[in-house]
Amino acid sequence: MTDENALYAVSPLDGRYSGRTEALAPYASEAALMRARVEVEVEYLLALTDLDAIPLTLADDEAAALRAAYEEFDSEDAALVKRIETEGARGYDATNHDVKAVEYFLREHAPQRAHAWIHFGLTSEDVNNLAYRLLVAGAVEDVLVPELRAVRDELVDFAHEHADLPMLARTHGQPATPTTFGKEMAVYAARVGRAIGRVEAASDDLAGKLAGASGTWAAHHAAFPDVDWRGFSRSFVESLGIAYVEPTTQVNPSDDLAALFDAVSGANGVLEDLAVDAWLYVSQRYLGQEAAAGETGSSTMPHKVNPIDFENAEGNLAKADSDLDFLGEYLTSSRLQRDLSDSTVKRNVGAAFAHCLLAYRKLGDGLDAVTPNEAVLREDLRANPEVIGEAVQTILRREGHDDAYERVKELTRGERVSLDDFRELFANLDVDENTRDELLSLTPETYVGVGADVARDA
């Protein structure tokens, strides 16, 4: 789409953001669906020729020509399929049926004697459910997962580079036991890594059906009752790299898609949490942002550098999850043996994935543009010395002081204290000099446990 045409797009995915979502076009566009349908129809026809019962043989060059129909499928082919569907072309009346249009298109690439065997015994859903799973698997494995890995790798780099940088933690929004910036990034890196594993597993479990108009192979069996159509269908579906599901109605129940959408939504939940935390770190000045030359942060406040990438990511993740939840719930229901409402809904899978892709890239842009502000981090630690209270009472417990918690609580709860206040407490404690020296050495900047080790292990 040209820049001028993009200004008139109904959806921002094909308008404002078209340059960022085009990587999904080979998997989510109408032309992609056409090509995938052609692939399923071709491979099904070729699989039929391997059955002894089917009186059709194809020469190697004929098989190659058929495979070229999807391997070399281009914009002109897509336009022809659309014309056959909507206007009629090549001697065919308008089908007003997208799968039938693909069948007629394929006749242009097959010898006359093969025409009767194209789409033999199939219902449209046999073709569509397999085509969609080829596309969905490709979109996830070739586009979404690599972007998720890029975010994870960026987080790992942050974890390693800033493993030792101390940072005040906040639990319930209040100053808490210090951590390191690298360790916090390691937490997110690990969470994203686990989420990627769940997404990949769900993608590997995508399952297809091929069982006719109501899941009984009725037409197949009527024509060739001696063929093991159930075994044939399993072998064919698995040859496409898709798991096999049986029994079904006319439709694949789509539990596999729901599981995949749930896994992607889970990954998005982790990233939304990260986007919000990054936004908060920017607002606290824990993270500094690079100002892009010539960029405007506010139409009225010239000084502003807004965390717009994190905000954009957050919004797109929320939109993606809303769409994915809807898809997972809707596609697993079908009235009786089949209703058509899922057909229009499935066409929106690409939009949900596009919002995911936008979010992953915006989050990556945001992480690229920030760096920890060490001075602010250390200043905040020094301003909250009360956080060493946990260490103090724990060491005193070790030394047998059963009132340790209460004594530190009396000093610190709801109060602003200084290290001098702690030193006064230590001076009045009944402890040996080694323990007193241990307590005196405590500072918020060094009270980070093994956080740095955790970060380096990311």
H helix and E strand count, the chain: 22, 8
Say how far apart CA 31 and CA 303 lie, in whole Å: 46
User: Which residue do the tokens 């007193």 mark?
Assistant: 436
- DSSP states along 228-282: -HHHHHHHHHHHTT-EE--S-SSS---HHHHHHHHHHHHHHHHHHHHHHHHHHHH
- DSSP states along 142-201: IIIHHHHHHHHHHHHHHHHHTTT-EEEEEETTEEEEEEEHHHHHHHHHHHHHHHHHHHHH
Label residue 96 exposed, middle or buried (CB < 10 Å: 0-12, 13-18, 19+).
exposed
Name, in order, each residue with C-beta under 8 angstroms of 84's C-beta and a sequence gap of 6 or more.
90, 92, 94, 95, 101, 104, 105
Backbone φ, ψ for residue 121 (5° rounding): 75, 0
**Tokens matching residue 92:** 């065919």
**Tokens matching residue 337:** 């043996």
Taken in order 392, 398, 404, 405, the sign of the CA dihedral is positive
Closest CA to 283 of 303, 306, 300, 299: 306
Bridge partners of 372?
A: 287
Say how far apart CA 42 and CA 320 lie, in whole Å: 34
Backbone φ, ψ for residue 169 (5° rounding): -85, 160
Active site residues: 172, 298
